[in-house]
Structure 1
Amino acid sequence: MRWGLGGVLLCVPLLIALAGPWFAGEPVPRGASFGSGSFLGTDFVGRDVWRQVLLGGRTVVMVALAATALTFLMGTPLGLLTAMTRRRWLDELLMRPLDLLLAIPSLLMLILLAAVAPPGPLTLVAVVALIGLPEVARISRAAALEIAARPAMEAMRLQGESWWRRAFGYVGRSMLRTLLADLGVRVVGAIYLVATASFLGVGVSPDADDWAVMVDRNRTGMFLQPWGVLVPALLIVALSVGLNLLFDGTRRSRGEAT
């Protein structure tokens, strides 16, 4: 049941975000601000709210997914390397700077990094990935340390197995369940950061076709035309809750299978 509800909640915003631009059509002449002349009314500058909803999800979804993928591509090998190395100085050299990044509030880091970088989706992907890197690296390191201490690792070393085979073939594969459990949390965290950045106007233009920007710009007319705020806000919430339920259901299924 939980998996099914999560799938439904996830599919609706995903379909709108990915397929919406194909059905948005050409822009229509603008009407009155916060008017009711169309399906969901008009926004703060008189644009069709429904068309903005169809166009506004791709940034949130694609940037969050790309940032999460980049975070794991950087953080997992880094955590694996620090857990497998026998050189204490290398572990300290790689992990202590990440601990410093972890001590900085994510929202503050988001604003600081985006302020010195050129605006755009690629910048937002890099910033969100950098914010998530310390936590993914630490989780990967903690999971790899426990696996690397198993007798099987010593047996593989005595048999002459290469470091790469031991690290990625055994430890990396054994970490997959832990990483999968963390993946849902990371994606939701990335969605939160991307939506927050868009809401604050960090990395995106103030009139961009974006769900979070819609919430920010249309909130002044909430009592005149609520759909410009409620619909994109509910889609962001459905995306986050659906992902959590879906990954939770997947973990439960894998746990029961084992």
Structure 2
Amino acid sequence: MLASSMAPAGPLVADTTQALLPPGSEHPLGTDLLGRDVWTRLLWGGRWTLMMGLVALAITVGVGLPVGLVAGTFAGWGDVVLMRLMDALLAFPGLLMAMAIVALLGPGLSSVAIAVGLAAAPAYARVARSAALEVRAQPYVEAARAVGCSEWRIMVRHILPNATASLVAFAATQLGWVLLNGAALNFLGLGVRPGAPEWGAMLAEGRGYLRDAPWISTFPGLALTLTVLAVNLLADRLQETLRRW
């Protein structure tokens, strides 16, 4: 949100006379091969990366949560079918599945968000099912069933609210995963267009200059690492806090 006010220039403004300058007073993090300010691109890249991660996480929860809740609430053959399908999807590495989805949808940041979100959905569905089964065995759920509440009503009024704590905590841990894998897809050239200020794409741009201009890749990589680490630490803290409730 503050990128436009904190950045000295636009992320796409090039000046070849300023190419590959090391970090200094004019360019705090140096410039890249086209003379673009790395600090500016890092700030704008954070917006792109975080936006992609949040959209992907919304897709993960939007797909995985209903599947897991339905499977855990209704059990029976529906649970078996849905979970065998999730197991089959989990047999594929998440990044490989995301690459296959991007290949079907075509390159682009939206395709990366959809692909990473769908690739993370089976794991979230598994956790949602486990949480639903745990709540389903509680006495108040049995009491609601005894007075004639339908399974759908039980799922919405009793199981979902009481499973929210664990589901929110796991969603926070999934955010780090989608950020990292989204950046990996952009690094491989499957996401944003060339030259776009995105951390994974910036890593790819600087890999040919690691000896002469290591700052081009170092700072985006450091930003991505610290962001994922911060998200994971926040998720752990959130999980501990919710567990006390």
The reply to whether TM is greater than 0.5 is yes
Q: Look up the equivalent residue of 1:34 and give its one-letter code.
A: L
Measured in 2, the distance between the counterparts of 1:93 and 1:254 equals 31
Measured in 2, the distance between the counterparts of 1:65 and 1:171 equals 25
Measured in 1, the distance between the counterparts of 2:241 and 2:68 equals 27
Q: Is it true that 1:127 corresponds to 2:110 in the alignment?
A: no
Measured in 2, the distance between the counterparts of 1:95 and 1:252 equals 28
Runs of 4+ deviating beyond 6 Å: none
User: Structure 1 residues 157 and 255, CA, compared in 2 at 3 Å: closer, same or farther?
Assistant: closer
Shift of residue 238, structure 1, vs aligned partner: 1.2
Alignment of 1:5-16 (within 5 A): none
Q: Which residue of 2 aligns with 1:235?
A: 223
User: Structure 1 residues 195 and 182, CA, compared in 2 at 3 Å: closer, same or farther?
Assistant: same
Task: Identify the match of residue 44 of structure 1 among 28, 33, 53.
Answer: 33
Q: Which residue of 2 aligns with 1:177?
A: 165
Contact 2:63/2:118 (CA < 8 Å) preserved in 1? no
Alignment of 1:18-167 (within 5 A): 18-24=1-7, 25-26=9-10, 27=13, 29-36=15-22, 38-39=26-27, 40-86=29-75, 88-167=76-155
User: Helix, strand or coil: the match of 1:191?
Assistant: helix
Contact 2:166/2:239 (CA < 8 Å) preserved in 1? no
Measured in 1, the distance between the counterparts of 2:233 and 2:43 equals 24
Measured in 1, the distance between the counterparts of 2:122 and 2:68 equals 9
Measured in 2, the distance between the counterparts of 1:89 and 1:221 equals 56
- Name the Cα RMSD after superposition: 1.9
Contact 1:102/1:135 (CA < 8 Å) preserved in 2? yes
My pick for the range that moved more, 183-192 or 37-46, is 37-46
The total of aligned residue pairs comes to 239
Contact 1:102/1:134 (CA < 8 Å) preserved in 2? yes
User: Structure 1 residues 168 and 213, CA, compared in 2 at 3 Å: closer, same or farther?
Assistant: same
My pick for the range that moved more, 188-197 or 112-121, is 112-121
Shift of residue 22, structure 1, vs aligned partner: 4.5
Measured in 2, the distance between the counterparts of 1:47 and 1:181 equals 39
Q: Give the structure-1-normalised TM-score.
A: 0.85
Q: Give the structure-2-normalised TM-score.
A: 0.89
Percentage of pairs with the same residue: 33
User: Structure 1 residues 135 and 195, CA, compared in 2 at 3 Å: closer, same or farther?
Assistant: same
Measured in 2, the distance between the counterparts of 1:170 and 1:251 equals 21
Measured in 2, the distance between the counterparts of 1:122 and 1:220 equals 27
Measured in 2, the distance between the counterparts of 1:81 and 1:127 equals 23
- Give CA deviations for 1:187-206 in whole Å, capped at 9, x if unaligned: 01001111111111112223
Structure 2 unaligned blocks of 5 or more: none
Contact 1:121/1:204 (CA < 8 Å) preserved in 2? yes
Q: Look up the equivalent residue of 1:89 and give its one-letter code.
A: W
Structure 1 unaligned blocks of 5 or more: 1-17
Contact 1:64/1:191 (CA < 8 Å) preserved in 2? yes
